[in-house]
Structure 1
Amino acid sequence: MHLFRKIVNRKLCSGVNLALSKDGSSLRTLCTSARRSTVMQAWVIDKYGNNSVLRFTKNAPFPIIHYPNEVIIKVHAAGLNPIDINMRGGYGAATMAMKRDPLHINQAGSEFPLILGREVSGEIMECGLDVPYFKPGDEVWAAISPWKQGSLAEFVVVSGNEVSHKPKSLSHLDAASLPYVAVTAWSAIVNTGGLNKNNSAKKRVLIIGGSGGVGTFAIQMLKSWGAHVTATCSQNAECLVRDLGADDVVDYTSGPVETKLKTLEKFDLILDNIGGDTERWAVGLLKPWCGSKYVTLVTPFLRNTDQLGLADGMMQTAVTIATKALKHITKGVHYRWGFFAPSGRALDDISEMVDEGKIRAVVEQCFPFTEVPQAFAKVEKGHARGKTIVTVAREQEE
């Protein structure tokens, strides 16, 4: 389904994007429809910092299709995540700069003005030449890679292989709460943890941090696959977590959470969304010598590259993961790091699960496009009970 035609592309000064075929014999348009504007409304940052760096503009550059596998999405709603707070402050800037495509940054070679927002639900406006599986008007959702311009804008350009048709049963507002956390959980549980719908029955899984975006999604997905799920959360979130299907819920505010967890049967998989001190005691909760895995989404990779530079940071990261993996394998358990991995194919499967009633959106609060700084402040407080969403198209159309 996800086709890619190897052609060299070139943007002409007229603003129309054309592609040169591999043999150089002909030029073909990259888009299925012409660009409608040159500017759009967006929230941007011009430097890294606190909430004061967020700036609203009506003159953000309209996104352009540079490659034949890209699409432009008209944004109806955008989801916010802790990574947006971190990126606003410059976290991971060194690695993101290495990953950014020169065609998608400004002429000075800077990422600024930078648009944040990693989740989008909207409709296809334009398609590249090699995107036969979408057409203008299709309702879609996507998780956007951190090194690309984000969804806090009227339009966003993304790779077609990162996009999926939106679940028919969800509004754009609800749909925007899922893509980033869904593919993050999918990557950690399926790609790294090794569980899937065919082998999860009766597996015991512990989710540390069960009330946030990744946790609420992971609980539902694992329960739909037949796993036994234990989750940690605060007392205020216990009802939500149980309602999502968690078999056991441990309140971390009522005493040492590790003491309570040690009274339970050991686990086949632990998904750690919190990090910090949890790593010290959580690995000991796994079944030894049974292929059990501890997967943490809190890694030092970006921090290392920010502080030490790319080469030294990657070297330090490799040493750290190797040391920890070796230390824990001698105890009969596997230590792994989980990472976000955008995938339209994963979202295809997740969309089906949503429409079958196995996954539901958990939205805590919704903000209009004019109140993006307030939405950031909400996410920055932590203690999430679901997702924070920003509506975009609805307000622009009123």
Structure 2
Amino acid sequence: MDHLLFLAQERADSAWLALHSSGSQLTNSLSSLKDGARTSLQNALNSFRNQRFGEEVADRVRRWLAHLREVLSAVKPSEIYDRLFIFFVTEVTRTHMYFGGACFFFGGIFGMFVGMRLRSSLVAPQRMRAVVINSYKGIEAIGVVEDVVAPRIVEPHQVLVQVKAAGIDYLDIKVAQGYGRVLRQQLNKYNPNTEGEFPVVLGRDCSGVVVAVGRDVSRVEQGEEVWLAVPFYHPGTLSEYVVVSEEHVAPKPSQLTYEGAAALPYSILTAWDALVTQAGLGPQSTAGKRVLVHAGVSGVGVVALQLVRAWGGSITTTVSTRAAPLAHMLGAEDVITYDNSNFDKELLMREKYDVILNTVGQVLHDSCLKYCLPGGIVVTTTSSQLPSDSYGYIAGGLYSLYLRAKYWFVKTPWLTGGRLGTLEVKGDILEKVVPLINSGQLQAVVDKAYSAQDAEVAFAHVAKGEQIGRTVVRFRARPLASRMEGSL
């Protein structure tokens, strides 16, 4: 490095000597011009005292301009250009060019980074209303606050959405109990839109209007109505504004209201992952298959029933008595009510199933295996706890890999789902079901809609397990309020 610096200094000295001869005349002329200007100003001041300021200044300016023309006429740009060309061709080596380019590149990156940090530290943060938790104490920790720092676009592929309505998923209650806390804590360290581990904004999906886009966004445009979903470790959607990658966003179907569009995205992605990605069903492979859906009027169950019906499968589902009519309407041919009958006995009396979708959780693992055909598959859409929450980030990741390997090599029906990274949260999948929505084969089921200030009541309703479909929260359109840090 010292050698390179020495060579650079040596070449700079050579350049100076090469240009010195052509610039000496210019230097002398400028020096004369400076002396003349000083004399002119002094004489002008004296003339002002003698009340002859105007005539003296005009005369001095004329002589000054004449002298400037002489100086400029003495400068020969072509000679300077020739000397610079010879210098860079004969004196500058490839090493100098690489070294100079590297310094310019890294210096520019460093300057840009410092400038962005200074700018972000000087701008007062925007504040918004959101449904958050400030501890992992369960539903009691859920509250509505007005001073959450609003997210902003920090990457060229991100989209800023003003939320009109957001869905409440049972997964949000699990998040409030600590689900995914280790992974979320690690990722928040690198997310400029979070203030640390807390507060955690809840919500997995929403609908709204795009208010700003990054320079590389091509999927949606500013002012467009959209629906979207985010992974469980991502900052949530139960807020007035949300920033997400464009891959999570899709144009909202025009047939859906904001409430209906908010009740579907995460349920669609979960049902699609279970039925298509893990069970191998689809428009061309479902006809004639027997499918059992536990809790068929849950958020995921509602979507699963309609997808299997649209694809030609035979559906059995378990629901409460009051939800049985809706289950039939959504496409279930065989409905078993679990509050007025022994559904375990009822299922054992029926033919076994090719695919069992368990939306209840680990508690039904053993019974699901009893109802499944040899070579069939059982898919669960919920997990009681992530491996990373039990064993830490690194050990939990290794344990998750172990579960994946066990799933692929064990040939008996296996309770899948709940594994880190299996659920693809992408707008492309939402776009695939739009034809079903347009044809009326896939409909949103909104149980209740609450205002943002009543979000705590909405969560209490969901926690009781009595909802049919999805519960949503409406957000009133308000401009972002710029407030000083820590003020309301």
**Coarse TM-score class (shorter-chain normalised):** 0.7 to 0.9
Instruction: Give CA-to-partner distance per residue, 1:17-49, whole Å, 9 cap, x none.
Output: xxxxxxxxxxxxxxxxxx998222223222222
Kindly tell me: are residues 106 and 385 of structure 1, through their superposed partners in 2, closer, same or farther at Cα, counting changes over 3 Å? closer
Q: 1:243 aligns with which of 329, 333, 345?
A: 329
SS in 2 for 1:371: helix
Query: Match of 2:441?
Result: 358
Separation in 2 of the partners of 1:218 and 1:106? 34
Question: Which residue of the other structure, out of 181, 186, 192, is the alignment partner of 1:104?
Answer: 192
Corresponding residue for residue 114 of structure 1: 200
C-alpha distance in 2, partners of 1:342/1:326? 26
Offset, 1:320: 5.1
Tell me the distance in 1 between the aligned counterparts of 2:479 and 2:166: 14
Identity of aligned residues (%): 31
Moved more, 90-99 or 363-372: 90-99
Mapped contact 1:274–1:298 kept (Cα < 8 A): yes
Matched, 1:186 2:272: yes
Tell me if structure 1 keeps the 8 A contact 2:361–2:384. Answer: no
Match of 2:119 among 14, 19, 22: 14
> What is the aligned partner in structure 1 of residue 313 from structure 2?
227
Bigger strand fraction: 1
CA contact (8 A) 2:150 2:193 kept: no
Distance across 2 between alignment mates of 1:111 and 1:261 = 45
1:298 maps onto 2:382 in alignment: yes
Query: For residues 366 and 185 of structure 1, do their structure 2 counterparts lie closer, same or farther at Cα, with a shift above 3 Å needed?
Result: same
The answer to whether the Cα contact below 8 Å between 1:258 and 1:282 also exists between their aligned partners in 2 is: no
User: SS at 1:42's partner residue?
Assistant: strand
Identify unmatched segments of 5+ residues in structure 1: 1-7, 17-34
Q: Which has the higher helix share?
A: 2
Aligned pairs (5 A) from 1:199-218? 199-218=285-304
1:187-226, Cα deviation, whole Å (9 max, x unpaired): 1111111111121112111111111000011000111111
The answer to whether structure 1 residue 389 and structure 2 residue 466 are counterparts is no
- Code of the residue aligned with 2:383 in structure 1: it is T
The residue that corresponds to 2:224 in the other structure is 138
Is 1:104–1:148's contact at 8 Å kept on the other side of the alignment?
no
149, 156, 175: which one pairs with 2:235? 149
Give yes or no for the alignment of 1:71 onto 2:145.
no
Partner secondary structure for residue 209 of structure 2: strand
How far did residue 392 of structure 1 move? 0.3
- DSSP-derived class of the 1:142 partner: strand
Map Cα deviations across residues 116-159 of structure 1 (whole Å, 9 max, x no partner).
Answer: 11111001111111112211110000011222221221110011
Question: Quick one: distance in 2 between partners of 1:342 and 1:113?
Answer: 23
- The alignment of Structure 1 onto Structure 2 pairs a total of residues equal to 364
Contact 2:125 2:149 survives alignment (8 Å): no
SS in 2 for 1:268: strand
Normalised TM-score (structure 2): 0.69
1:262 maps to: 348
Higher relative contact order (CA 8 A, sep 6+): 1
Displacement of 1:112: 1.4
2:391 matched to which residue of 1? 308
Q: For residues 286 and 56 of structure 1, do their structure 2 counterparts lie closer, same or farther at Cα, with a shift above 3 Å needed?
A: closer
Task: Give 1 or 2 for the bigger CA radius of gyration.
Answer: 2
Deviation per CA, 1:356-381: give whole Å up to 9, x if none: 21111101111111101101111111
Find the partner of 1:46 among 134, 140, 147. 134
Distance 1:257 1:395 in 2: 48
Instruction: Provide the rounded CA distance (Å) in 2 between the counterparts of 1:217 and 1:135.
Output: 28
Q: Which consecutive unaligned segments of at least 5 residues does structure 2 have? A: 1-108, 481-488
Decide whether aligned partners of structure 1 residues 243 and 36 sit closer, same or farther in structure 2, where only a CA change above 3 A counts.
farther
Contact 1:268 1:287 in 2 (8 A): yes
CA RMSD, 1 decimal: 2.6
Q: Which residue identity does 2:392 align to in structure 1?
A: G
Question: Is residue 301–residue 314 contact of structure 1 (8 Å, CA) maintained in 2?
Answer: no
Residue of 450, 465, 469 corresponding to 1:367: 450
Contact 2:205–2:237 (Cα < 8 Å) also in 1: yes
TM-score by length of 1: 0.84
Kindly indicate whether the alpha-carbon contact (under 8 Å) linking 1:162 and 1:344 is maintained by their aligned counterparts in 2.
yes
Kept in 2, the 8 Å contact 1:234–1:251? The answer is yes
Shift of 1:101: 6.2
Query: Is the contact made by 1:300 and 1:317 (CA closer than 8 Å) also made in structure 2?
Result: no
Distance 1:36 1:249 in 2: 56
Q: Helix, strand or coil: the match of 2:151?
A: coil
Is the partner of 1:182 in helix, strand or coil? helix
Aligned-residue offset at 1:171: 0.6
In the alignment, the residues of structure 2 paired with residue 282 and residue 62 of structure 1 have an alpha-carbon distance, to the nearest angstrom, of 44
